[in-house]
């Protein structure tokens, strides 16, 4: 029998406990031994979490989990940096294996945790930290082990995808959609992490380390969230044949690694563009496997609990087979290629200029774009309000980000441009 102790009985903690209790028969049948939920520690053990927990399991004292010599695996589901990090390090020092869904902690302080675990010889499972129920960590560490990874593109924040989907199809305001996502248990305790793209950047940091063997590089991720996305841009994107998604991208180009999270327009007919609601998807392009796509629920109590229990089962099997460390944790990582600065990336772009409706304006704007080698693929101008500002939408061919930023500064200084230009990066086919 393998004993498990959980720290944190919130959304994911309760989903994990539910699976361990309600699916214990099937787990035992598949593993050939029992997984016993020995303890759950939370600050509040009075609140109804919707599952019946056997007597004596709940405690308010995390040390009863961390110091219990019978507990083999400690599952950290409290979130945040402190005291989560201290608890995990203490568990490791006490010889316990760890499972965590805490991407914020791993992306920023993961090296300390992985190093400590390697020193002591215990495992750290973190499948639930990226893309909820989707087993993408296993894919990156095991299934695609033979591939040089060319690119990873992910919709890896359920809250943002839920909000964008609501804004696209139901004309729901941003703030209302966020409230719904919070109620459904998708959002982080501080939802700024979701909507400002930081949670996606945490997850991307982990994926990039697995893909390219680079150190955890959260501080080098270029991050833009969705809080400034307007329904107008979603509607224009749709008219041009695109869906707007918060995309996390890491790829190798010119010997460097791109690390970026930002709203992105994707052709509507791409599979990944059809991923809506709280669902996530990760597209991985490997030199041997080619294109692969992984889809599923990216957030929520039981879907995330599924990934947590998957890790518990893996570690339990390794303990039973004397195979702890079978898949090494990413600690001996190379310094890897350098990280590419956002200014050096090449992309297609969507621009929305707020320009006066009068003759000659388009030629002024296109002249500046041309001076910076930005060539226009298509233009839409909506509504005629002579002498007033109207949206002028331009899609470009591939251009350098550095040039785009300089062109926008110049365009925004034109007296005929009435508001700051909006620009969104576009992935997909180049129009001829």
Binding site for ligand NDP (CB under 6 A): 7-13, 41-44, 62, 77-79, 83, 101-103, 128, 132, 185-186, 188-189, 299-300, 304
The option from ligand NDP, ligand HSE, none interacting with 159 (CB < 5 to 8 A, set by class) reads ligand HSE
Footprint of ligand HSE on residues 117-146 (CB under 6 A)? 132
The option from ligand HSE, ligand NDP, none interacting with 157 (CB < 5 to 8 A, set by class) reads ligand HSE
The Cα 150–Cα 152 span in angstroms is 7
The Cα 146–Cα 286 span in angstroms is 9
Q: Smallest gap, in angstroms, from Cβ of residue 363 to ligand NDP?
A: 50
Q: Is 263 in the site for ligand HSE (CB under 6 A)?
A: no
Say if residues 88 and 76 touch (Cβ distance below 8 Å): yes
Which one, 18 or 251, has the nearer CB to ligand NDP?
Answer: 18
Number of residues counted as binding ligand HSE (CB under 6 A): 11
Q: Is 114 in the site for ligand HSE (CB under 6 A)?
A: no
Which of 166, 168, 167, 136 minimizes the C-alpha distance to 152? 136
The Cα 79–Cα 98 span in angstroms is 14
Which one, 272 or 369, has the nearer CB to ligand HSE?
Answer: 272
Which one, 223 or 234, has the nearer CB to ligand NDP?
Answer: 223
Cα dihedral sign, 416-381-399-213: positive
Say if residues 225 and 335 touch (Cβ distance below 8 Å): no
Question: Which string of b and e fits 290-326 if b means at least 16 CB within 10 Å?
Answer: eeeebbbbbbbbbbbbbbbbbbbbbbbbbbeeeeeee
CA 152 to chain centre: 11
Which one, 58 or 246, has the nearer CB to ligand HSE?
Answer: 246
Residues 6+ apart with CB under 8 A from 293: 271, 272, 281, 282, 283, 284
The option from ligand HSE, ligand NDP, none interacting with 212 (CB < 5 to 8 A, set by class) reads none
Catalytic pick from 38, 85, 103, 203?
203
Question: How many residues are present in the chain?
Answer: 432
**Enclosing H/E stretch for 372:** none
Kindly state the tokens that stand for 257: 């690694």
Q: Smallest gap, in angstroms, from Cβ of residue 298 to ligand HSE?
A: 5
Q: Is 186 in the site for ligand HSE (CB under 6 A)?
A: yes
Residue from 3, 16, 102, 159 in contact with ligand HSE (CB under 6 A): 159
Q: Smallest gap, in angstroms, from Cβ of residue 300 to ligand HSE?
A: 8
CA 409 to chain centre: 31
Say if residues 329 and 124 touch (Cβ distance below 8 Å): yes
The option from ligand HSE, ligand NDP, none interacting with 7 (CB < 5 to 8 A, set by class) reads ligand NDP
Is 203 in the active site?
A: yes
Say if residues 297 and 279 touch (Cβ distance below 8 Å): yes
The option from ligand HSE, ligand NDP, none interacting with 10 (CB < 5 to 8 A, set by class) reads ligand NDP
The option from ligand HSE, ligand NDP, none interacting with 154 (CB < 5 to 8 A, set by class) reads none
The Cα 368–Cα 371 span in angstroms is 5
Q: Smallest gap, in angstroms, from Cβ of residue 110 to ligand NDP?
A: 13
Ramachandran assignment for 337, one of left (phi > 0), alpha (psi -120 to 50 degrees), beta (any other): beta
Which one, 158 or 305, has the nearer CB to ligand HSE?
Answer: 158
Q: Is 158 in the site for ligand HSE (CB under 6 A)?
A: yes
Footprint of ligand HSE on residues 271-330 (CB under 6 A)? 298-299
Residue 392 half-sphere exposure toward CB, CA atoms < 13 A: 25
Q: Is 194 in the site for ligand HSE (CB under 6 A)?
A: yes
Residues in touch with ligand HSE (CB under 6 A) = 132, 157-159, 186-188, 194, 199, 298-299
Residues tagged active-site:
203
């Amino acid at each position: 029998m393998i004993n498990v102790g959980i720290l944190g009985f919130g959304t994911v903690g309760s989903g994990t406990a539910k699976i361990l209790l309600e699916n214990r028969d099937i787990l035992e049948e598949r593993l050939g031994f029992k997984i016993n939920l020995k303890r759950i520690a939370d600050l509040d053990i009075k609140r109804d979490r919707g599952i019946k927990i056997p007597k004596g399991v709940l405690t308010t004292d995390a040390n009863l989990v961390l110091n219990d010599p019978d507990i083999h695996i400690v599952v950290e589901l409290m979130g945040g940096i402190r005291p989560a990090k201290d608890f995990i390090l203490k568990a490791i020092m006490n010889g316990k294996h760890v499972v965590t869904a805490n991407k914020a902690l791993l992306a920023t302080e993961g090296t300390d945790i992985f190093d400590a675990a390697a020193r002591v010889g215990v495992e750290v499972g973190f499948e639930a930290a990226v893309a909820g129920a989707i087993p993408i960590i296993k894919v990156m560490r095991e299934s695609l082990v033979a591939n040089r990874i060319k690119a990873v593109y992910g919709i890896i924040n359920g809250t943002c995808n839920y909000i964008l989907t609501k804004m696209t199809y139901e004309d729901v305001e941003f703030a209302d959609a966020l409230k719904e996502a919070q109620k459904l248990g998708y959002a982080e305790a501080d939802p700024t992490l979701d909507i400002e793209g930081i949670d996606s950047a945490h997850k991307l940091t982990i994926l990039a380390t697995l893909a390219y063997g680079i150190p955890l590089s959260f501080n080098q991720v270029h991050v833009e969230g969705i809080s400034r996305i307007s329904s107008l841009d979603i509607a224009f994107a749709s008219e041009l044949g695109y869906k707007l998604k918060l995309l996390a991208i890491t790829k190798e180009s010119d010997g460097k690694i791109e690390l970026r999270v930002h709203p992105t327009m994707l052709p509507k007919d791409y599979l990944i563009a059809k991923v809506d609601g709280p669902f996530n998807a990760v597209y991985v392009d490997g030199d041997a496997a080619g294109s692969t796509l992984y889809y599923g629920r990216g957030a929520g109590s039981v879907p995330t609990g599924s990934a947590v229990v998957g890790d518990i089962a893996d570690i339990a099997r390794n303990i039973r087979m004397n195979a702890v460390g079978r898949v090494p944790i990413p600690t001996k990582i190379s310094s890897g290629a350098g990280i590419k600065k956002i200014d050096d990336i090449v992309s297609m772009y969507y621009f929305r200029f707020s320009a006066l409706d009068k003759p000659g304006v388009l030629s002024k704007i296109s002249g500046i774009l041309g001076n910076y080698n930005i060539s226009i693929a298509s233009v839409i101008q909506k509504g005629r309000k002579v002498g007033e500002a109207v949206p002028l939408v331009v899609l470009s061919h591939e251009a350098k980000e550095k040039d785009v930023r300089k062109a926008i500064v110049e365009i925004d200084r034109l007296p005929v441009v009435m508001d700051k230009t909006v620009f969104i990066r576009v992935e997909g086919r180049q129009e001829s």
